[in-house]
Amino acid sequence: MPPSFVRLDGADSSLLLDCRGPGVPLCLHWGASLPKGMDPETLAAAAQPRLRQHATLDSPPPVSLLPEAGLGFFGAPGLEGHRAQNDWATAFELREIAQQDDALRLHLEEPQAMLALTLDIRMHAASGVVSRRSVLTNRAAEAYNLTWLAGAAVDLPEDAEDALLLRGAWSSEFTVRRIALGAGQIAQENRRGRTSHASFPGCIVGSRGFDDLQGSVYGFHLAWSGNHRLLIDHQPDAGHQVQLGELLLPGEVVLGEGERYESPWVHAAWSSAGLNDLSQRFHAFLRDAVLPPGVAAQPRRVHYNSWEAIYFDHSEEKLFALAEQAAALGVERFVLDDGWFPGRVSAESGLGDWQVDPTKYPQGLDPLIARITDLGMDFGLWVEPEMINPDSDLYRAHPDWVLALPGHARPTGRHQLVLDLTRTEVSDHLFAWLDRLLSDHTIAYLKWDHNRDLAPAGDALGRPAARRQTLAFHALLDRLRAAHPQVEIESCASGGGRADYEVLRRSERLWTSDNNDALARQTIQRGASLFFPPEVLGAHVGPAASHTAGRRFSLDFRAGTALFGHFGLEFDLAELSAGEHDALKAWIALYKRFRPLIHGGRLYRLPFMGARGQAWLSIARDASEGLAALVCLDPPLPPQPAPLQLPGFDPDAEYRVTLLPPVPKELGNYLNDMRAWLDGQIVLSGRLLAEGALHFGLVRPQSIALIHLEKV
């Protein structure tokens, strides 16, 4: 007989399941750690069953880990499908529970529908993040047409009244949208075939008015690089429930006898202390359990990317000069972006013909790579393996190799189509040239782009292929990394269009956005930091006048914005004056000094100057030091110093507070009065720092000040 209750614990968190059955187990508790030795029967007795109302079922079913239509649950079921219009409503029976340390597997059977269901649940000890997935197996000879299987379904507490969704578009990714929960359903779907700029596969729900510093919050992320669905469903007799899973196109999953479908993993975390603590749990989980081994131990190298300096106009002379200028600034990796292969004078041609352009590089890439490595930098290269231009030799030879619907038009995006990776010959072709490219050249890094949604995502027979395409992409990355484990990979998809935990199992960096406009980046990076730590978020110092928005910003504002990410440069370095060269070199040195703290510490997003500013704070895990970036976005009202609350330090320890150079120009008139700030004469306890003993303000919009805090 399965045990009546199962418990998992980790990082001040407990998960308690009621498995008394006979069906899918119930979640009795998910949240703060339960007392050791607590009798679960006591908690179960304290949980009142769903109230029975007039004109409804005599025994309303409780909301389980996977709610089922066959038991009279009238909300969104966790499983939808049928077998020739039969077996569409299920009532699973719990048969077996297997538990080993922090991993739990629940095995259930549906004898009438001839289906088996496995629910995998893991509690990660270091972060308290709970990971869940669902696995469905067809036991019958007749095929089962699956249309929906939630990776996780979570019943929300009654105080969950607000939700945060991350929406957006190209150049405005990770835009936070707050919604008040009420009656009905909030549904967010992505049918674009990649993770999506428009609909990030995650959400946060919590108590009314929660923010970075306070409130009970629950966060969810679907680790999947393709189509997805997110539901926040409310039923009058069942409250709110969150479901996340892969969105399946019609007929995309039809299970034959013995075949099974594995949902993507859903990673979930909770906090009683607001969004900062929730994000810190996700960051710790990603660092410890998701990123490729060794990433956390390696310094995230300063990048130079050639794109906004030269676009498609390549010349060895120009690139040699850029490399020398980058090295003189302290850059550690030089990335050659789009335009290095034949016919690539614009976005309209060349994709698919992956050889070095002999007109631009008569001796190949080796002379450029040798010069870059001689200057002490790694060499990185832009590729877009999944894409093809109709104006390419590969397309002219293999027009059947693309995703399309037979007999229909082939709409292009950015003048390109998508190669069908589900065809073995296509994936083999892509692996062969990538393998040869990396074997023949000293390449430390690939910027892997994906500039087009999948539309339509059909294979040669007209069948939906979005799911298989995503799996084939993951498999290609796995194959390439096995052959070249030393090569780092950046996931780029017109910026942040393919940013998720599953792609980060196979890559070291996300390109957060194509938008290098520093003011827009403050918002984009803030939203992304809810789920991703700074070291995986590519953040570049762009040109003085943004190529995306046309706005002009000071060098200090651009560099300060990039500091709390994976720092890089992306503009024509010849535009720098001598003074700007020295200033940028100082910023790069500052990044190198503090990157262990920024990339390994606990990140806080903090209020500063009301809605007209914001602050970033990273604190070492042992609370020995911290670095804060105070950002003025708009002119403050009134323009006077405001209390600055800096939580997270040891309340009983004392910290020396120092204003770091470069000091914002607007403070020049006050420097004599701020000598204590500049000379590190201010020493305050962690308790006073948290209570707002520091008073600091900025007047000039789009300015940044840095404060270092070090334990005395």
Catalytic residue status for 9: no
In whole angstroms, give the CA distance from residue 617 to residue 608.
11
CA distance 520 to 533: 19
Q: Which residues of 323-353 are buried (b: 16+ CB within 10 A; e: fewer)?
A: bebbbebbbbbbbbbbbbbbbbbebebbbbb
Q: Which member of 449, 453, 517, 556 is catalytic?
A: 449
Of 120, 162, 378, 514, which is the active-site residue? 514
Look up residue 88 and give its two tokens. 């569409």
CB of 217 closer than 8 Å to CB of 271: yes
The answer to whether 673 is a known catalytic residue is: no
C-beta separation of 301 from 332 below 8 A: yes
Q: Which two tokens stand for residue 436?
A: 């040869």
Q: Of 33, 42, 26, whose CA–CA distance to 8 is shortest?
A: 33
In Å, what is the CA distance from 83 to each residue of 134, 148, 251, 428, 542? 19, 14, 12, 35, 55
Q: What angle do CA 660, 617, 505 make, to 5 degrees?
A: 120
Tell whether the torsion through CA atoms of 317, 323, 326 and 327 is positive or negative.
negative
CA-closest candidate to residue 220, choices 23, 30, 69: 30
Taking only Cα atoms into account, the Rg of the chain, rounded to an integer number of angstroms, comes to 27
Q: Is residue 560 within 8 Å of residue 633, measured between CB atoms?
A: no
DSSP string, 213-250: SSB-EEEEEE--SS-EEEEEEEETTTEEEEEEEEPPPT
Cα-Cα-Cα-Cα dihedral of 573, 579, 585, 587, to 10°?
-110
**Active site (catalytic) residues:** 449, 514
